[in-house]
């Protein structure tokens, strides 16, 4: 191997690692995976009209938690389109193929997608059935409404997308609770879209430990520095709220 | 329409909107799209082994910028698998079908994916060719290395994934510059993975205006509250750096 090839193979390197290579393997440290009896399963529900980041944010953290396997599930295995119609995600398994998961994650969608999912008996029944065997049942954004439609949130402290908070409360009897994500028993509901990343780090600490979760925060270089400070409805105010909903509507398929 | 149906259709509602409905359309305000002569195009490069959030974070913001269309492009149209192998994204077009874009976005990947992409003449030539006609050429994470392989970063202030900083500098002659994202002429390079969301909000302000970008920050409820503060290598320290690289390596396909 030439020096150039060797250098190409070490595209990722810790600043402190010097010449020892990219992984702890090279330092003789055992993989945490070696000690684990079985891999726990995170099932991410995909459905037509979902909001991609709701699913992909948590996926990007959870797929690297030691001893965890992440799978994607939809009514039928194959591609589903997102709320804007311009991105496709692939579900590897159908609902019927998946009867158990340690963690269930239900992402949200825009009006069309979430309304259809809430009305789809097969999907809602599957969520209710899987929930019985989960260690954690989680949602991001309007995914909480699907948990609600499955009857899982009556009297339960929860949150959802900012613009769907009152809907969640009045329609499904959830106890609206402030927070980037809300944990209540084994149910964790996150706020809108990007809140799933924060929830996933919290969940990673529970599935593994705090150090692993902290390392995963670095793995996705999650040191947020948004150029504005308008990420909550309270900070944004009513005019930006209306504009946000209009932009969502305009881009909806 | 029954009251229940009506309520289901208003799953998303601004707190301040009361009964007027979810969109500005109902308030008689014109869509910004109506005034635009043509939709500008954002092309997101997908390739085998990419890191999903690198692409999906910016997509989720940019797909709702007024008068913008987002398209996905890969060597061949169809599904590509991510770095972990457990998620598929669908590219709607092949490189040959796309000869122009106003914005080019190149996401990153792990060692395997980025090494293969840098070595793939077809991909690198396509990036170089598209760059000639772009208004903005952008990368997330190790996507900067692909811009580097295309010869676009020699002497250019830039950033990349934390663990690839020195590689970017020594291999491609970029001028490593601190920042969540770095703008230099028409090239904007973002740091690792989640940094693409911050960059996309910055870009949204340039493609539309600050108010639209601020509304889009609310649209994705990007009010980050990570449970830890270990999202940069400096904050995390050398031990978490090593652990992060190990977890990345263990989960890599």
ipTM of this complex prediction, to 2 decimal places:
0.90
pLDDT at B233: 98
**Among residues A218, A180, A221, A227, which one has the least CA distance to residue B223?**
A180
Hey, which residues of A are catalytic here?
141
Cα–Cα distance for residue pair A206/A209, rounded to 1 Å: 6
Q: What is the mean pLDDT of residues B43-61?
A: 98
Nearest CA to CA, how far is A61 from chain B (Å)?
10
Q: What is the mean pLDDT of residues A166-173?
A: 97
Contacts of A24 in chain B (CB under 8 A): 242-243, 245-246
Residue of B220, B234, B253 for testing the chain A interface, max A β-carbons within 10 Å: B220
* CB B151, CB B121: distance < 8 Å: no
Nearest CA to CA, how far is A50 from chain B (Å)?
11
Into which CATH architecture does domain A40-219 fall? 3-Layer(aba) Sandwich (3.40)
pLDDT in tens, A61-73: 999 999 999 999 9
pLDDT at B109: 98
Nearest CA to CA, how far is A132 from chain B (Å)?
25
pLDDT at A15: 65
Nearest CA to CA, how far is B64 from chain A (Å)?
5
Nearest CA to CA, how far is A201 from chain B (Å)?
7
Among the partner residues B224, B227, B251, nearest to A64 by beta-carbon distance = B251
Report the residue of chain B nearest A220, measured CA to CA: B193
Cα–Cα distance for residue pair B102/B43, rounded to 1 Å: 8
- Mean pLDDT, chain B, rounded, equals 90
What is the domain partition of chain A in residue ranges?
40-219
- Mean pLDDT, chain A, rounded, equals 90
Cβ of A222 within 8 Å of Cβ of B194? The answer is yes
Cα–Cα distance for residue pair A242/B60, rounded to 1 Å: 18
Cβ of A238 within 8 Å of Cβ of B110? The answer is no
Q: How many residues does chain A have?
A: 253
Q: How confident is the model at residue B126 (pLDDT cuts 50, 70, 90)?
A: very high
Q: Considering the entire predicted model, what is its pTM? A: 0.90
Lowest mean pLDDT, pick from A10-14, B23-27, B99-103, B205-209: B23-27
* CB B41, CB B101: distance < 8 Å: yes
pLDDT at A4: 47
pLDDT at A24: 36
Report the residue of chain A nearest B205, measured CA to CA: A227
Q: A–B: how many Cβ contacts below 8 A? A: 393
Contacts of B9 in chain A (CB under 8 A): 111, 115
Report the residue of chain B nearest A226, measured CA to CA: B198
Q: What is the mean pLDDT of residues B199-207?
A: 98
Question: How far from chain centre, in Å, is Cα B160?
Answer: 13
Cα–Cα distance for residue pair A69/B84, rounded to 1 Å: 10
Q: How confident is the model at residue A18 (pLDDT cuts 50, 70, 90)?
A: very low
For the cut 90, the answer to whether the pLDDT of residue B53 exceeds it is yes
Q: How confident is the model at residue A13 (pLDDT cuts 50, 70, 90)?
A: confident
Between B4 and B163, name the one with better pLDDT. Answer: B163
Cβ of B217 within 8 Å of Cβ of A211? The answer is no
pLDDT at A35: 53
Cβ of A213 within 8 Å of Cβ of B227? The answer is yes
Share of chain B above pLDDT 70, in %: 87
* CB B232, CB B165: distance < 8 Å: no
For the cut 70, the answer to whether the pLDDT of residue B206 exceeds it is yes
Between B13 and B31, name the one with better pLDDT. Answer: B13
Residue of A221, A240, A248 for testing the chain B interface, max B β-carbons within 10 Å: A221
- Strands A103-106, A40-45: parallel, antiparallel or unpaired by DSSP? parallel
pLDDT at B252: 94
Between A234 and A4, name the one with better pLDDT. Answer: A234
Q: How confident is the model at residue B20 (pLDDT cuts 50, 70, 90)?
A: very low
pLDDT at B14: 76
Residue of A120, A215, A241 for testing the chain B interface, max B β-carbons within 10 Å: A215
Among the partner residues A86, A87, A114, nearest to B11 by beta-carbon distance = A114
For the cut 70, the answer to whether the pLDDT of residue B35 exceeds it is no
For the cut 60, the answer to whether the pLDDT of residue A36 exceeds it is no
């Amino acid at each position: 191997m030439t020096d150039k090839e060797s250098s190409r193979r070490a595209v990722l390197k810790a600043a402190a690692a010097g010449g020892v290579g990219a992984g702890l393997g090279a330092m003789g440290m055992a993989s945490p995976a070696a000690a684990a009896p079985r891999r726990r399963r995170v099932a991410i529900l995909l459905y037509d009209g979902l909001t991609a980041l709701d699913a992909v944010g948590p996926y990007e953290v959870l797929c690297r938690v030691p001893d965890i396997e992440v799978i994607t599930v939809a009514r039928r295995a194959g591609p589903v389109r997102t709320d804007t119609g311009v991105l496709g995600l692939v579900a590897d398994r159908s609902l019927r193929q998946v009867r158990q998961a340690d963690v269930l994650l239900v992402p949200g969608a825009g009006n069309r997608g979430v309304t259809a999912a809430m009305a789809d008996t097969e999907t809602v029944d599957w969520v209710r059935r899987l929930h019985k065997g989960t260690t954690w049942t989680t949602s991001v954004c309007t995914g909480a409404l699907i948990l609600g439609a499955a009857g899982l949130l009556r009297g339960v402290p929860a949150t959802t997308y900012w613009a769907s908070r009152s809907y969640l409360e009045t329609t499904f009897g959830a106890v609206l609770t402030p927070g980037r994500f809300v944990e209540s028993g084994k149910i964790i509901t996150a706020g809108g879209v990007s809140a799933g990343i924060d929830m996933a780090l919290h969940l990673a600490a529970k599935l593994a430990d705090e150090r692993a979760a902290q390392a995963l925060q670095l793995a996705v270089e999650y040191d947020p520095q948004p150029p504005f400070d308008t990420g909550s409805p309270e900070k944004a105010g009513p005019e930006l709220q209306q504009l946000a909903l209009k932009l969502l509507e305009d881009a909806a398929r």
